[in-house]
Amino acid sequence: MSINVIGAGLAGCEAAYQIAKRGINVKLYEMKPQKKSPAHHSDNFCELVCSNSLKANRVESAAGLLKEEMRKLDSLIMQCADLCTVPAGGALAVDRDLFSAMVTEKIRNNKNIEIISEEVTKIPQNGITVIATGPLTSEALSSEITSFCGGALSFFDAAAPIVTFESLSMDSAFFASRYGKGDGDDYINCPLNKEEYEAFYNELVQAERAPLHDFDVNNPKVYEGCMPVEVLAGRGIDTLRFGPMKPVGLTDPNTGHRPWAVVQLRKENTVGSLYNLVGFQTNLKFSEQKRVFGMIPALKNAEFMRYGVMHRNTFLDSPNVLNADFSTKKRNDLFFAGQITGVEGYIESTSSGLMTGINAAHLHEGRKAFILPVTTMIGSLSNYIAQGSAAKFQPMGANLGILPSLDEQIRDKKIRAEKIAERSLRDIEEIMKKGELL
């Protein structure tokens, strides 16, 4: 008997891979290319609709530790990401087109995975099923899920614009990474002096926004990590200078001084023909994006290949719905994976798919659930999903704060983070040696 996986995004492809590598047949349902969500454009699987950055790669960082845990557990998504990197300083960023194409090829060529290109509108009543349809689940299935789970929550997410390299005014920009990290040319920096910044700021906070029906962008359910730049700016004139436009760690070679503010551009593809505006998620009207962002000297003639957009994300009230193995409390053969569960971020979503795939396979083979300890980042995220505050449940990304304290007190933050990472990876290795993982 095969296992159903619905959705071929990051979590769905990871879950399908984990099941298939264990010799179990998978029916992977994906509505593309017949139908796409408002945020999707490509026919390939695992399309990255927001940033192309998978966050920090240092193992002593929360995001880096999560990625290293997944590498140890043989994550397909991490395999492909590591092969599709573009320079991004201390972060792991990927060429989004190469990445999605590579994942698609590996999934399509897996003999244990059958691709079914159709929209699923109802929750299958029989057989082990993984629902990994993401935060933009189609309306019909979303209604089914809401009914099954007794309700669903939502917040809004945003994406940043992408511009062409050849349209940039490089006489007003320079290559550099903060504090000299990376290869030195990982980012294009677009500096502004005090006068230029204040003029830009004044136009940004007054710019016309695209309509959001029945929703206030200042609502607390806008995820803080994807807050539109114009909303951040509205909190005060210096908010951006201490946020996405902070100039620390950079020196403008044209002046020999640190800029008053700076916009960083990061590569979108390996050939360096496209760059995205880091931290500039926005809900401005397209014409306003071109006008206001064009006030940044290096972007005065910028050609926008994609404007910033904002869209609704839906997530479950997971503490009341899911167990720590991502199975539902109502049906142990029905699993959810990905951002719909309330994990926030590309790799966090993938990690839930990894665990869901493993546990769907374990259930199929009659084995006990595989749950990592809370000393690991994956285990802590799983625990948060199942045990988080049911009254005020909100999406959670990887962070060291959700991990338990060390037995010893260490004041130095860097050393403490290194020790936390060592403990996590050691615990995973010991679990794998014990043969608890199918």
- Side chain identity, residue 271: V
Q: Where in the chain is the domain with CATH 2.40.30?
A: 162-308
Torsion of Cα atoms, 356 then 357 then 359 then 363, to 10°: 130
Q: Give residue 252's identity as a one-letter amino acid code.
A: D
Q: What whole-number distance in Å separates Cα of residue 15 and Cα of residue 214?
A: 35
Question: Where in 256-300 does DSSP place strands (E)?
Answer: 261-267, 274-277
For residue 124, whether the previous peptide bond is cis, meaning omega lies within 30 degrees of 0, is no
324, two tokens: 């720590």
pLDDT of amino acid 224: 61
Q: Which of 93-102, 288-297, 303-312, 352-361 has the lowest mean pLDDT?
A: 303-312
Residue 351 is encoded by which pair of tokens? 């990690």
What the block records as the tokens of 276 is: 């995205």
pLDDT recorded at residue 132: 97
pLDDT digits (tens, 9 = 90+) for 386-421: 986 555 677 888 988 888 888 888 889 899 999 999
What CATH number does domain 3-154+315-433 carry, 3.40.50.12170, 3.50.50.60, 1.10.10.60, 3.20.20.70? 3.50.50.60
Distance linking the first and last C-alpha atoms of the chain: 18
How far is residue 219's CA from residue 32's CA, in Å, rounded to a whole number? 32
pLDDT digits (tens, 9 = 90+) for 338-369: 999 989 899 999 999 999 999 999 999 999 99
Region 214-218 average pLDDT: 46
Place of tokens 């199942």: 386
| pTM score, whole prediction | 0.80
Complete DSSP assignment for 215-260:
--TTSTTB-GGG--HHHHHTT-TTTGGGTTT--TT--BTTTTB--S
pLDDT in tens, 50-78: 789 999 999 999 999 999 999 999 999 99
Averaged pLDDT score across all residues of the chain? 91
d(CA 8, CA 114): 12
Which pLDDT belongs to residue 96?
A: 93
* Distance, CA of 228 to CA of 64 (rounded, Å): 25
- C-alpha–C-alpha distance, residues 169 and 325, integer Å: 51
Say what the pLDDT of residue 220 is: 40
By the 10 Å C-beta count (0-12 exposed, 13-18 middle, 19+ buried), 65 is classed as buried
Q: How confident is the model at residue 310 (pLDDT cuts 50, 70, 90)?
A: confident
pLDDT tens digits for range 2-37: 999 999 999 999 999 999 999 999 999 999 888 776
- Dist CA 110 CA 95 (whole Å): 23
Q: Measured between alpha carbons, how far is residue 235 from residues 3, 195, 210, 242 in Å? A: 48, 19, 19, 12
Q: CB count, 10 Å around CB of 163?
A: 24
**Strand order across the 334-336 sheet:** 113-116, 26-29, 3-6, 129-131, 334-336
Phi/psi at 75 (5° precision)? -75, 130
Residues sharing a CB contact under 8 Å with residue 190, sequence separation 6 or more, in sequence order: 172, 173, 262, 263, 264, 265, 296, 297, 298, 299
Q: What is the pLDDT of residue 63?
A: 96
Domain 162-308 has CATH 2.10.240: no
Biggest CA-to-CA distance, the chain: 67
Percent residues over pLDDT 90 in the chain:
72
- Residues near 133 by beta carbon (within 8 Å), at least 6 away in sequence: 6, 7, 9, 12, 120, 141, 338, 340
As a residue count, the chain comes to 438
Q: Where in the chain is the domain with CATH 3.50.50.60?
A: 3-154+315-433
Is residue 309 pLDDT above 70, yes or no?
yes
